[in-house]
Amino acid sequence: MKDSRTPRGTAASGTCETPTDLKRVLGLPTAILLVAGIMIGSGVFKKIVPMAQTLPSQELILFAWIAAGVITMFGAFTYAGLSTLTTESGGIYEYLRLIYGDLVSFLFGWSVFTIFGSGALAALSFVFAQSVNTLIPLPFGGWGIKILAVLTIAVLTWWNIRGIRRGGILNNIVTSAKIAGILALIISALLFSRTAAAHALWAPASGLASDPAGAAAAGLSQISGTGWISGFIGAMLSALWAYDGWANITYITGEITNPRRNVPYAILGGVSIAMALYVLLNYGYMRVMPVSQLSRLGTDQIAAAEVAGVLMGKTGTVTISALIMACTFSALNGCLITYARVYFRMAQENVFFKPVGKVHPTTRTPHISLIYSAIASMVLVCSGTFDQITNLIVFASYGYFGITAFGLVRMKMKGRITSKVIGYPVIPWVIILFCATLMINTIVTQPRQSAIGLLLILSGVPFYLYFKRRVRG
């Protein structure tokens, strides 16, 4: 009997493609831009506000961004080791299947369908539509925004059904444009010099703007003691949300050329680009506006828009809205491409709806899976529940991150992974301890959201039993 945990995409199976296979057409540059495009969404434009509210120190805020980037890079090293297990699509789902079996991997895939994937697609499409509404007021108020979000998902789904190469080209164009826009904003902020008028504008609110060194010292004194630990963890959570999505490239392993080499390099390259942009951009924010002023912004205010307003006047809001449009559109396109491959792989393993495992005979894309993914996210957009779901993403995703890192240790001990893994065994254990700490902190500080997240994950058990019973029948 065939072992259900044997990877199909190994060297033993060869590299010949059949009409039921996906096409390996994405090279390393496109893969790097996919990682960067998915990561760089709207978070980097807004997360400085909650971070400034919990860490009134420029140095600690920058350190939180760097620390979150280092943790993400550690994850890249870990997944580089796991990528030698298989060249099949599905990424983390496939790694978990090979390590722990069908139930654990199914619950991960189910979490992607109910939390990560659908929630992220709904949120990104909604923010994109909001950005359009800022530039061009839409009819029908809030429903106009939802209608545009749904139409955007539908159009991008149609585009990606026509071929993975088309989706990659679109991603390359939009991601390159948004990186150029962010670099322009960074350069403007770094060249900014506070004039006497700027001092007069910010000094009454902060009382510290005229003395940056004193502001930093005062900020550090405000968070001395044990309080800074919880504040720093909270700031890191905000940063980790902005870094989220770096592992999505593993989901399309089956469509990347030379995946054992290119998938790890794509993650490292994409994370490096995002990390450099995030640190420089946040430094630029705090160069233009003091931390104390940023902390006073409301939750409905976009920090980047306020900074751009100082730099460019009224055109700043328009510029940032256009930049957020490009960022969310690019991230939405990348997520549409990647998440559908998880459901496709689940259907291939007979633990999801059977039609989802079909490949389009002409374009060689998982067209039914793309349609399922689009419908699920459209429902969340119309219901307005995606905000509650996206709050659970970091909690659930880092739980799986931890057990995936432990899986690397397990496979190395069993001799299933013989290649050298950067930082092994220190880095996997750092990730395991970090994820455990993050989960415990989240459960203690947000017990209700943690319970909801756990229930959503476990809600997949009846479906898993149904799919397994159907296969036996």
Tens of pLDDT, residue by residue over 255-299, are: 999 988 898 899 999 999 999 999 999 999 999 998 888 988 876
Burial of 414 (0-12, 13-18, 19+ CB in 10 A): exposed
Other C-beta atoms closer than 10 Å to the C-beta of 462 total 9
pLDDT value of residue 193: 64
pLDDT grade, residue 207 (50/70/90)?
A: very low
Lowest mean per-residue pLDDT among 27-36, 235-244, 347-356, 458-467: 235-244
The whole-number pLDDT of residue 391 equals: 62
Q: Is a pLDDT exceeding 50 seen at residue 220?
A: no
Average pLDDT over residues 231-253: 85
Contacts of 308 (CB under 8 A, 6+ apart): 185, 316, 317, 319, 320
Ranges 40-44, 98-102, 324-328: which has the least confidence: 40-44
Q: What's the confidence (pLDDT) of residue 194?
A: 54
How much is the pLDDT for 2?
40
Check pLDDT > 60 for residue 425: yes
Q: Peptide bond preceding 259: is omega within 30 degrees of 0, i.e. cis? A: no
HSE-up (13 A, CA, CB side) for residue 190: 12
Mean pLDDT of the chain: 84
pLDDT surpasses 60 at 392: yes
Considering only 232-236, 400-404, 461-465, which range has the smallest mean pLDDT? 232-236
What local confidence, expressed as pLDDT, does residue 472 receive? 77
How far, rounded to the nearest angstrom, does the alpha carbon of residue 17 sit from its chain's CA centroid?
30
313-330 average pLDDT score: 88
* pLDDT greater at residue 219 or residue 331: 331
Residue 215 pLDDT grade (very low, low, confident, very high; cuts 50, 70, 90): very low
Which range is least confidently modeled, 173-187, 391-405, 458-472? 391-405
Range in 36-40, 136-140, 207-211, 420-424 with the lowest mean pLDDT: 207-211
User: Can you tell me whether residue 421 is helix, strand or coil?
Assistant: coil
| Beta-carbon contacts of residue 411 (< 8 Å; ≥ 6 apart) | 82, 85, 99, 417
**Res 228: pLDDT:** 67
What average pLDDT score do residues 80-107 get?
A: 90
pLDDT at position 429 is 95
82 CB-near residues (< 8 Å, 6+ apart):
95, 404, 407, 408, 411, 417
Which stretches within 207-255 are classed as H helix?
212-222, 227-243
DSSP helix, strand, coil percent of the chain (3-state; round to 5): 75, 0, 20
Rounded to two decimals, what is the model's pTM?
0.84
Confidence at 301, pLDDT banded by 50, 70, 90: confident
Taken as a whole, the chain contains a residue count of 473
Residue 303 binned pLDDT confidence (cut-offs 50, 70, 90): confident
